[in-house]
């Protein structure tokens, strides 16, 4: 089984090299990365990595965040060149983690343990968890994303009361549907797709249009690092917020929190929003005791393949 990975990236200099090395160490043999006009050194790192890995770079200059179209384009390239059997459609801030062995062996296990025949399966949806830092973590000298050790296990539905958020205060951007905290909530999974029969990849990589059946597995999990330091958060908001403004395909409800944060950036209030999503340990530890969060040791990366 040949496993490929596609990544859409823009200004992720703090994590992109580790992302590729991690997945290569776990059995990904082919990479295609679309760089959407990075200016922070990400593009130069990718160029260096082409000397070491089977990695193609597509330069996409349009600042419109047409993620579904660009990720589908990468999948179509893999189909045309017949260089892989399956593809992980990944983001730069996500690490895919098999319960044991490599990603290839874990995928084979997921296929063989299904009620369907392996050759009947087109997509495998994997569980995804937010990995969050504390405010103390991000303010510590030498902080890296690997120090995001609070893993979200359940929705925090009492966030509005606990954080004294109200509609009058205009601080509801920290909340998601039904009062859940935007970061301390369960997430939709993401898929690994068989290239044969793949028609298109959905926005956000949460699903794919495929001729074959869909299954879910917990044999492979995804560690998602959505927020790191403030500068990274600010860069993410300005990059994607301006791209959403430029996009003519999406409605105003697409990525509404990023749109809100972009408005707050324009108003000079983004740091206040950051303080609502990166919380102090005094707030996080009680959530560990309630089972909403799980506190993990710092990620251990043996040969760049990380585990907890």
Q: Is the pLDDT of residue 194 over 80?
A: yes
Q: Is the pLDDT of residue 157 over 70?
A: yes
Give residue 305's pLDDT.
56
Greater confidence (257 vs 199) lies with 199
Percent of the chain exceeding pLDDT 90 equals 78
Q: 3-127+188-226, which class in CATH? A: alpha beta
Dist CA 243 CA 238 (whole Å): 8
Domain locations in the chain as residue ranges: 3-127+188-226, 131-185+228-295
Q: What angle do CA 111, 223, 138 make, to 5 degrees?
A: 175
Q: Please give the span between the terminal C-alpha atoms of the chain, in angstroms, as a whole number.
A: 26
pLDDT band at 297 (very low <50, low <70, confident <90, very high): confident
Q: Is the pLDDT of residue 72 over 90?
A: yes
- Write down the pTM of the prediction: 0.93
Q: Is the pLDDT of residue 271 over 90?
A: yes
Q: Are the CB atoms for 95 and 22 separated by under 8 Å?
A: yes
Dihedral angle of Cα 200, 201, 207, 213, to the nearest 10 degrees: 30
What is the token pair recorded at 301?
């990366």
What are the beta bridge partners of residue 221? 97, 127
DSSP code, position 193:
E
Give residue 167's pLDDT.
59
Question: What stretch of H or E contains 20?
Answer: helix 16-25
Dist CA 229 CA 295 (whole Å): 19
Greater confidence (111 vs 173) lies with 111
Greater confidence (56 vs 300) lies with 56
Dist CA 154 CA 7 (whole Å): 27
State how far the alpha carbon of 157 is from the alpha carbons of 19, 154, 226, in Å.
32, 9, 19
pLDDT digits (tens, 9 = 90+) for 122-141: 999 999 999 999 999 999 99
Dist CA 244 CA 149 (whole Å): 30
Chain center to CA of 69: 17
Greater confidence (245 vs 3) lies with 3
Parallel, antiparallel, or unpaired: how do β-strands 150-152 and 293-295 relate? antiparallel
pLDDT digits (tens, 9 = 90+) for 208-240: 999 999 999 999 999 999 999 999 999 999 998
Dist CA 55 CA 43 (whole Å): 12
Q: Is the pLDDT of residue 303 over 50?
A: no
């Amino acid at each position: 089984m040949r496993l490929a990975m596609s990544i859409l990236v823009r200004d992720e200099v703090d994590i992109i090299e580790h992302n590729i090395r991690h997945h290569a160490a776990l059995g990904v043999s082919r990479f295609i990365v679309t760089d959407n006009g990075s200016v922070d050194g990400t593009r130069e790192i990718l160029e260096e990595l082409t000397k070491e890995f089977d990695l193609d770079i597509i330069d996409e200059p349009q600042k419109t965040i047409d993620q579904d179209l660009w990720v589908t384009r990468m999948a179509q390239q893999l189909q045309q060149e017949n260089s892989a059997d399956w593809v992980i459609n990944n983001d730069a801030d996500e690490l895919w983690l098999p319960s044991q062995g490599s990603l290839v062996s874990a995928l084979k296990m997921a296929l063989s343990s299904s009620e369907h025949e392996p050759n009947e399966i087109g997509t495998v949806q994997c569980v995804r968890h937010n990995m969050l830092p504390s405010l103390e973590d991000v303010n510590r000298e030498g902080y890296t994303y690997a120090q995001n050790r609070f893993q979200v296990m359940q929705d925090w539905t009492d966030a509005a009361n606990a954080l004294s958020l109200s509609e009058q205060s205009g601080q509801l951007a920290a909340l998601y549907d039904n009062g859940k905290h935007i970061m301390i909530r369960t997430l939709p999974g993401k898929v690994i797709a068989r290239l044969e029969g793949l028609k298109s990849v959905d926005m956000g990589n949460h699903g794919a249009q495929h001729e074959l059946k869909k299954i879910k597995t917990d044999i492979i999990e995804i560690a998602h690092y959505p927020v790191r330091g403030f500068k990274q958060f600010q860069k993410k908001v300005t990059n994607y917020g301006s791209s959403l403004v430029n996009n003519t395909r999406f409605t105003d409800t697409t990525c509404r929190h990023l749109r809100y944060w972009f408005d707050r950036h324009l108003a000079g209030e983004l740091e206040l929003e950051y303080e609502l999503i990166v919380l102090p340990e005094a707030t996080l530890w009680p959530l560990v005791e309630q089972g909403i969060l799980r506190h993990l040791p710092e990620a251990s990366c043996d040969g760049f393949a990380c585990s907890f």
